[in-house]
Homo-oligomer: A and B are copies of this chain.
């Protein structure tokens, strides 16, 4: 193997080829995983393949509706993007839908038994059957939701072969494991523009997610136009909000993709931006400004005044009319109670109402708000904190604090969703999210009915450190692994298979407009001022943002801080470091191949020699200057790694002193620098520690 000059690309190749070899086996009679994510409930392999060419025609029978024809247009557009083949539409775009029903000559025949609900409901039938033979494709489903899922499965199967673009013959019977498979986007902290929302809905459709949870208000902004209380957006959004027309557009766009839109208006805390225009809602004296920092802040709604509930009744009424979904999220997290403690009238209220602490006061508030929500014909949903002794039984609990609270809720008869473990803002590897199961360690403690009350889960994209530019790389492709957790059978949990297929879906998502890789590349070019920042790419491929909440400890950030540095450009997970770690593990376990040894060597040489090329480039830009020590660290780590590799290969021993010194250097290299972690250092430590010491 020659030295890898482009490790991140090379790595995607390594991962991809692994995936492809798996899939070629899949074409034999053994039911190996197909390049589909999420994996279907059941696959029966067939013989041969179906060829996608310019003759390809689709037709519907059974129930039809305009949404299905739009789904076909979208399908054909994606299929064009996957093949470059122009497909003939049976019918003029945007005109009547006549002539679109059954057509004997069609190669892709779709049968829809009946309609789905006018307003998409939790728990609707989403199953489908996709039967592909060399002669044609037949997709059948109870309603358009299943049809749309089956179309996505088909699109994922398209590949180029010596016979053209083809799909393997097989029969898939598929349905979701959980009825609530969500992605939350926090448009409060950083505004998310409509095209970004749209392409993320497209990607959600691709991986069969069905709930877009839209976090629409925060200390940093109220993002929805209210006609009843216009000062919310006029004073609380910096002009960055969605008009009601845009909201309606997004809801329609989502419905077209089988996705429900659940709005969240966080209260009583995380609401500073409301108070800029309406200080009378707050528990403090004011005046209030839009919050520019990140964290937990004191401002909270005043739960003791009737005017608060009058306001909320009007506001929730307006929003309940805007958002058709049956569920309405009222937040409820992280109220620190400081404004309440500082307000004598609120203290007095607690005493007169026998509310022993702020949790009880918040429960009192939540109870009132839940009644308002119900009065507007919605089901309330909230974060863990809303679960209190008197919480009405129909409130859905979204657990961000852990599975224990989910278990607790289910036992007490509440329906729940898991988000703990799916916090995609925390820069965890896909593997960790993937292995979190909403029912693991819970199911055997519950009755079947209680188990069924766990509806699924949601990946949560909190937006302190994401904006329009890098949000795709934070959500995708990792969220596809979470989507598989929510859709596929519980026993689907092979991590290697997941990573193989994740690499494929990451490529496919380009056809849906997702810019995870492209945006990263543009940002590297921009920060370096170099149209081909090769050495910077090498460094970028082996670093990752700090995990969890470490980032805010390392540097001060506000909503004005540019997110244009290396930490913002790189994906949350270093594929290079992951593959290198696996190689190092095999080396120290004594089961490495000669290819493993060669790859480890080549990469370490690449990393060692990179600093000399990179340093002059880094000095040219005030954004990259801070990377100089990181690049040096990589060199030191690689030098140590090469030495350890040689020792391991030759069986030569090291001295205690040398090992100690190396480990000290590595410990240092493992500390964050420039808000970055050097992800290959721990693997080199593994090598060093397994060298014999004299």
Contact = CB atoms under 8 A, between A and B. Distances in A.
B531 A16 contact: yes
Contacts of A95: 234, 239
Contacts of A243: 94
Contacts of A82: 526
A607 to B, nearest CB: 17
B159 A529 contact: yes
A9 interface: yes
A562 B625 contact: no
A239 B100 CA distance: 14
B92 A239 contact: yes
Given A5-B5, A82-B526, A562-B85, A239 B160 contact: no
The count of identical subunits is 2
A310 interface: no
5 cross-chain pairs, A with B, having the tightest CB-CB distances, nearest first: A84-B564, A92-B239, A160-B529, A93-B239, A13-B532
Nearest to A91: B239
Interface of A: 5-6, 9-10, 12-13, 16, 54, 81-86, 88-89, 91-95, 159-164, 233-234, 237-240, 243, 467, 469, 503, 507, 510, 518, 522-523, 525-532, 534, 559-560, 562-564, 568, 619-623, 625
A234 to B, nearest CB: 6
Contact of A54 (B161, B532, B562): B562
A532 B162 CA distance: 19
Contact of A531 (B503, B522, B568): B503
B10 A532 contact: yes
Contacts of A527: 84, 160
Contacts of A93: 239-240
Q: Name the residue in A159, A162, A523, A532 with the highest tally of chain B Cβ atoms < 10 Å from its Cβ.
A: A532
Nearest to A10: B532
Contact of A161 (B88, B560, B622): B622
Contacts of A160: 526-529, 620-623
A510 B239 CA distance: 26
Contact of A562 (B13, B84, B240, B564): B84
A233 B92 CA distance: 9
A302 to B, nearest CB: 27
Nearest to A2: B5
Given A239-B95, A531-B507, A564 B162 contact: no
A12 B532 contact: yes
Contacts of A563: 84
A238 B88 contact: yes
Contact of A9 (B81, B83, B532): B532
20 contacts: A6-B534, A9-B532, A10-B532, A13-B531, A54-B560, A81-B469, A84-B523, A84-B526, A85-B564, A86-B560, A89-B239, A92-B233, A92-B239, A95-B239, A160-B527, A160-B623, A162-B619, A162-B621, A164-B622, A507-B531
Contacts of A161: 529, 620-622
A75 B286 CA distance: 36
